[in-house]
Every structure is written in C-alpha cells, then in structure tokens.
Amino acid sequence: METAMNAGSTKEFDDLLKKKKKSKKKADALRVFPLFLMMLPGLIYLVCNNYLPMFGILIAFKKVDFSIGILKSPWVGLKNFEFLFATKDATTMIRNTLLYNIVWIALGTVIAIFIALCMAEIANRPIAKVIQPVICFPSMVSAVILSYIVYGFLSTTYGFINNGILGGAKINFYATAKYWPLILTIVHFWQSSGQSSIIYMASIGGIDKGLYESARIDGATKMKQIVYITLPLLRPMIILMLLMAVGKIFNSDFGMFYQVPLNSGLIYSTTQTIDTYVYRALLEMNNVGMSSAASVFQAILGFILVVVSNAVVRKVDSDSALF
C-alpha cells in the first residue's frame, strides 16, 4: 500500500516537473519570439539572394534553350568553360583581373588603415564631422557619373589634364593603353578608400583607451603607440578583411572597368577583365551558359583561395583564422 502511494507521488511529481519544463520552454519561446521576428527579414533576404540563385549553377553546364526551359535544356558538360580559355584574350583578361586585384588589395589595406589612423586622431574635433562624409562620398557615386568625372579630366579636347596641367597637350588617353593601370588605380582608391577605412575606424574606436594612457605615462610617442598598440590589436581585423578580399580576387568592379574607359577597344589590353569580357561575349553571342560558367569559375577559384589562405593563417596564428 505504502509502495503504491510512493509510486503515485513520484508520478505526480514527474508530471508536475514535466509541466514546469513545458511552461518554461513556452516562456522561453515567447521571450525569444520577437528576436526571431527581427531576424526573419534578413533570413528571407539571405535565402532568396544567396541560396535560391545557386540553382542557376545548372546553367553553366547546359546549352540553355528558353523555349523548353532550363531543366530540359541539353547538357554540354564543360564546353561553356572552354570559351574563357580558348580565346586569344584569355591570358590578358585573367592577368589584368589578378594583377589589379593584388595591387589594390595590398595598397588598399595600407591606405585604409592610414586613413583610419588619421581619423582616429581627429575623432573628437569638429572637423571630423566634415572630413568623414567627404572621404566616404565617392563610394556613393555611380559608375556612369564616375565615368563622366574621369572624362572631364582625360578628354583630349576639354580635359583638365591636357589643357590645364600639360598646357594644351593632346594626349588621347582613351586610345593609349599604357596610362590606364595608373588611371584605374587612382580612380579605384579615390572611390573606395574612404568606405574601406570605416571598419578600421570602428575597430580603433573599440580599443581600450587605458592602453594609450598607460603608454603615454611610460613615455611612448604617438608612433610607438600605433606600432605597439593599435596595429597589433588591428591584426585580426586586417587578416579577416584580407581573407574576404582574396575570395573576390578573380572578380572585378564591372562598372569601373566597363564605364570609366568608355568601352574603348583600343585599350582592352590593360582594361579588359573577366567580367567585362563575359559581358561583351554575352552581348555578341547571347549565350547565357557561357556567362554562368564564368561566374562559377570565379566562385570556385575564390573559394579555394579563401580555404588555402585561411589554412596558412591558421598555421601561423590560429586565433586570427576565419574558420
């Protein structure tokens, strides 16, 4: 009898415990429900923008016939990839894409950090409220407007460089390929350096100010504070940004490389990249499969480079690795 009563009490206790757990789970779910609602728009955007389009990878391996649809279009294997390497321009466009990105990643990191360090020194001054919008404004300029700005400098007839700096010289920049690596590099840094420096400004702003105060008490100059405090603490962010940049090393800013040189065929040797070549090929041949193959090629190589670069970083400094 006593055993039965104990068993009944134990069952009641277990039921009560289960009810409490359920009520706690329900309360927790209600508590975090608003957070899930806040996350929902971003999650929907992520799925629609980053995952659903992956279905399009099929196009890279098919000869697309829109009359029968993508799924029923015939498979062509790797033939769509051949046009990237079968053309005489293959070496030029891959070389240009890689060299521009390597130079821009290296110099861009240095310039962005330099701007961030300068802005950190004047962060508490009224002039900072003027300088920050000014250096970030170029990143909001569209490629079309940018091309007109550059044309205002480079025009043979009315350009500021020919008529102002060179005193009436008639250099046809849009027909001379050798000038464009420097021109595009200057334009790129003018447009992107301000925006690239923002993340470093934020990282510098998060550094404990007590470290700088201690360094000043010990007699450290401003340069020593930068070398021994700021840069070491910025290293994880620098590595992260470099790894992300390496993933896009086979991509190029299509708007800049297509619009700024005004699509001049005489300077393709220094302005043609994978993206502009694919666009021109798409216009001429109307082959969507070839265009998709180029994107897949860029994505796969970028992924491999990120994995390899991250492995190297993990060997050297595991705490700074991306994964």
pLDDT above 90 coverage of the chain, percent: 20
Distance CA 22, CA 36 (A): 20
Q: Which residues contact 309 (CB under 8 A, 6 or more apart)?
A: 242, 243, 246
Q: Which long-range contacts (CB under 8 A, 24 or more apart) does 304-313 make?
A: 305/246, 305/247, 305/249, 306/243, 306/244, 306/246, 306/247, 309/242, 309/243, 309/246, 310/243, 313/239, 313/243
pLDDT of residue 8: 53
pLDDT of residue 5: 46
Checking if the pLDDT of 305 tops 60, the result is yes
Checking if the pLDDT of 6 tops 60, the result is no
With b meaning 16 or more CB within 10 Å and e meaning fewer, what string describes 63-85?
ebeeeeeeeebeebeeebbebbe
| Cα-based angle 92, 152, 115 (whole degrees, multiple of 5) | 75
DSSP characters for 36-79? HHHHHHHHHHHIIIIIGGGGGGGGGGB---TTT-TTTSPB-TTH
Checking if the pLDDT of 138 tops 50, the result is yes
Question: How confident is the model over 7-35, as a mean pLDDT?
Answer: 72
Q: Express each pLDDT in 258-281 by its tens digit.
A: 999 988 888 999 999 988 888 887
Per-domain residue ranges of the chain? 2-60, 79-320
pLDDT winner (highest mean) among 31-35, 41-45, 116-120, 275-279: 41-45
Phi, psi of 249 (to 5 degrees): -70, -20
pLDDT of residue 286: 76
DSSP, res 240: H
pLDDT of residue 16: 66
Q: Domain 79-320 has what CATH class?
A: mainly alpha
More confident residue, 96 or 54: 96
pLDDT of residue 14: 64
Q: What distance, in Å, lies between the first and last C-alpha atoms of the chain?
A: 62
pLDDT of residue 2: 47
Checking if the pLDDT of 12 tops 90, the result is no
Question: How confident is the model over 140-144, as a mean pLDDT?
Answer: 87
Distance CA 171, CA 9 (A): 98
pLDDT above 70 coverage of the chain, percent: 94
Give the H or E element holding residue 307. helix 288-316
Record the pTM. 0.80
pLDDT of residue 163: 86
Q: Express each pLDDT in 279-303 by its tens digit.
A: 887 877 777 888 888 888 888 888 8
